[in-house]
A and B are shown apart, each in its own frame.
Chain A
Amino acid sequence: MRKSKWIVWVLLAPGLLIVALTTTYPLLTALYFSLHNYKLTKPVDWAIQVGGDSFVNFNFSALSLDNYIQAFTDDRFINSVVVTLEFTLVSVGLSVILGLGIALLLQKEGFWHRVTKSILILPFAISPALKGYSWRFMLNENFGIFDKVIDLFISAPLNALINVWNALPFGDIPLISMNLVWLGDGFWALFMLALSETWGWAPLIALMFIGALGSIDPHIFESARIDGANNWQIFTHVTLPILRPVILIIVMLKTIFSLKMFDQVVTMTGGGPIRATQTINFYVHQVGFVRGLDIGYASALSYILVVVLTVVAAGYVLFLLKPDYNGS
């Protein structure tokens, strides 16, 4: 560490200026918008007439909390909050549990372990927008591969068993047939959205866990085994407690990303059926840019999201800056 010199500020200035301009400026402006009644009253074609201020109807009212008050009586917004929380709960839970499972499965040495480990990185390369489309395609009720896979792995074996049972004189059980339209049903659409998110994140989380598991001193496991612990006891009494900080960090990180979900909603479900998959971000976009053009209200709603995110992010940052965990 060297002492401060003028050169520090030369190095810092451009970077900090850009961060301030692109994050702090909009944050403050949005706060201002959210406290006023600000609507883009002229519909869609403004961009063509840009050249002066005349097309912008600034109509700023006096400072008021109307937008925030409106939010708490807006059924659609409350619906979006519930949807976002449900989505976050399911996607975080599935991603972390599946990620940990994959990590435990693949941490051993072995050819096939290595091969499987090397494909864990692939879902990261798929953009969220494309992820949404590819899942929507797979879930298609007429020609989707997903139904075929379910048939192969679940329905077919079960039906075989049921056929055997029906051949016996104990009464008949109806065969299982898949005729569910996944994205046409509110519950399943949200679940599939969370599953597509899990598809993208579980492998990444597995990679993080594999790294964390690899850094545990193997002697700890050995001595636990010498003390007579079985695999399950080692997992619950040794591995999990050691991984606790990593699990906490991953849960917080994933929660933040889940709360911000937007891209896949647009490309996979479009918020539907009805409003079953409208996350907060999606609803804000609807309010601000699609239906109401109500920038003030949209800003207020996104501010509510920011407050929720700040709580989680504060925990994350405090945890990261703990000196014993990370030297930064």
Chain B
Amino acid sequence: MHTTQHTPTRTVTRYSAASIRGLFWKWVGRIFESGAMFLVAVFILLPIVWLALTSLKPNEVAYTTDVFFQPTLDNFRIIFSNSSIIVNEGTNLQRSVIGLDMWPSTLNSIIISSATVLIAIPLATMAAYAFSRYRFFGSRAFLVWILTTQFLPAIIVAIPFFTLFRTIEVFGEPLLGSRLGLIIVNMAIVMPYSIWMIKGFIDALPVEVEEAGYVDGCNDFQVLVYVAFPLIRPGIIVASVFAFIMSWNEFLFAFILGRDTRTMQVALTTTSGVNGIMWEQMAAAGMVVMLPIILMTLTVRKNFVNGLTMGAVK
């Protein structure tokens, strides 16, 4: 615009009615676009930010929409303590609160999700490798079968396992309401998904490297372990993160088959007290459930779309 100051004659031609109108609409468009982006951001962040704020609120402001308050970690102390503790509420108010004892459920969630990943991922990798690198009788049919199991409603898996687990004891402990039982049923959602996902990663790798391995005199097993596996490893890590998130966020199985073995997801429901849900405690528990998964999600960002649709949308 500096040049226009020195050449007024050109200014006239520049700011013709049409160009002013063009500029006007351009700015209207830009403002509209920024406004829309702001709304999208508010829509996405509001539930998360509100939960985070509430988890830091003392009881007396938790049931208001105030955003200015003295933040406190009392809610986190309450949900993890297993006895009555004293918390500060505001300036001189002190109150005794019974803790929710969520350590056991945190531990359950960690054990169940980790075990699910540790069992499912190696077996899924093996199967995915076979599907990707070998042609054999029924390979396509098996793949379709595995894909369709993804669409089963979880409840139809839960019902038969409920009746089955009631009649089975492992080491004198009924399978119903045990961690082992939940690990077994988690396979129903994690295993097919992992096979497809890892197969996608292996498909994307050039087969030549493995062939070089054969030329160098490796057998199938050696090629798999020493040549293919190191190459697939990044894909396996991504699949493991997805599998962990799936079993961590799993609710229906834990709700129906978990009984006293509560996972974090089910432990959220224990924040209901005599006066209804204790929202500030629920929010704190929610943060504990959410934060590890947010961190993990960030690590798989790049593979996210592919992973979610099993390679359907590229």
Q: What residues make up the interface of A, taking CB atoms closer than 8 Å to B?
A: 1-5, 7-9, 11-12, 14-16, 18-19, 21-27, 29-30, 33, 40, 46-47, 50-51, 53, 56, 102, 105-106, 112-113, 116, 119-131, 133-138, 140, 142-145, 148-149, 199, 203-204, 207-208, 211-212, 215, 246, 249-250, 253, 256, 259-260, 262-263, 266-267, 281, 284-285, 288-289, 295, 298-299, 302-303, 305-306, 309-310, 312-313, 316-317, 320-321, 326-328
Contact = CB atoms under 8 A, between A and B. Distances in A.
Interface in B131-187: 131, 133-137, 142-149, 151-164, 166-167, 169, 174, 176-177, 184-185, 187
B82 interface: no
The 9 A-B pairs of least Cβ separation, nearest first, read A15-B127, A127-B249, A50-B174, A22-B188, A29-B160, A4-B136, A313-B151, A26-B160, A11-B130
B192 interface: yes
A302 B63 contact: no
Contact of B159 (A33, A47, A246, A262): A33
A106 B44 CA distance: 14
Contacts of A281: 153-155, 252
Interface size classification for chain B: 35 or more
A29 to B, nearest CB: 4
A137 B50 contact: yes
B117 interface: no
Contacts of A9: 136
B31 interface: no
A12 B126 contact: yes
A129 B267 CA distance: 10
Interface string B240-272: 000001001101100110010000011011000
B185 A22 contact: yes
Contact of A11 (B127, B137, B192, B297): B127
A212 B191 contact: no
Nearest to A195: B43
B157 to A, nearest CB: 5
Interface string B262-303: 000110110000000101001100100110011011100100
B65 interface: yes
A113 B153 contact: no
B15 interface: no
Given A5-B220, A106-B37, A284-B155, A127 B251 contact: yes
Interface stretch (B3-11, B95-103, B306-314): B306-314
B151 A126 contact: no
Nearest to B276: A140
Given A212-B313, A266-B255, A203 B44 contact: yes
A47 to B, nearest CB: 5
Given A8-B136, A19-B188, A137-B279, 13 more contacts: A14-B123, A18-B191, A23-B149, A29-B160, A106-B37, A125-B296, A127-B251, A129-B269, A137-B50, A138-B47, A145-B50, A145-B65, A317-B147
B47 A134 contact: yes
Contacts of B153: 259-260, 262, 281, 302, 305-306, 309
A247 B252 CA distance: 29
Contact of A211 (B144, B146, B155, B314): B314
11 contacts: A22-B185, A23-B157, A119-B45, A121-B297, A121-B298, A125-B245, A134-B48, A145-B50, A249-B309, A262-B251, A285-B256
A302 B36 contact: no
Contacts of B163: 29, 33, 40, 56, 295
B221 interface: yes
Given A18-B191, A128-B251, A309-B151, A3 B220 contact: no
B70 interface: no
A208 B134 contact: no
Contacts of B62: 143
B44 A207 contact: no
A326 B188 contact: no
Contacts of B126: 11-12, 14-15
Contact of A208 (B123, B251, B305): B305
Contacts of A313: 148, 151
A198 to B, nearest CB: 9
B192 A19 contact: yes
A210 to B, nearest CB: 8
A313 B151 CA distance: 7
B51 interface: yes
B144 A125 contact: no
B156 A26 contact: yes
Most buried by A among B48, B156, B162: B156
Nearest to A126: B290
A174 B28 CA distance: 32
B41 interface: yes
A121 to B, nearest CB: 6
B46 A145 contact: yes
Nearest to B313: A208
B133 A2 contact: yes
Contact of B304 (A12, A33, A119, A121): A121
B23 interface: no
A2 B130 CA distance: 10
A138 B289 CA distance: 18
Contact of B64 (A11, A143, A266): A143
Contact of B156 (A30, A123, A126, A135): A30
Contact of A138 (B50, B137, B259, B286): B50
A302 B283 CA distance: 33
A12 B130 contact: yes
B127 A22 contact: no
Given A18-B187, A122-B48, A27 B152 contact: yes
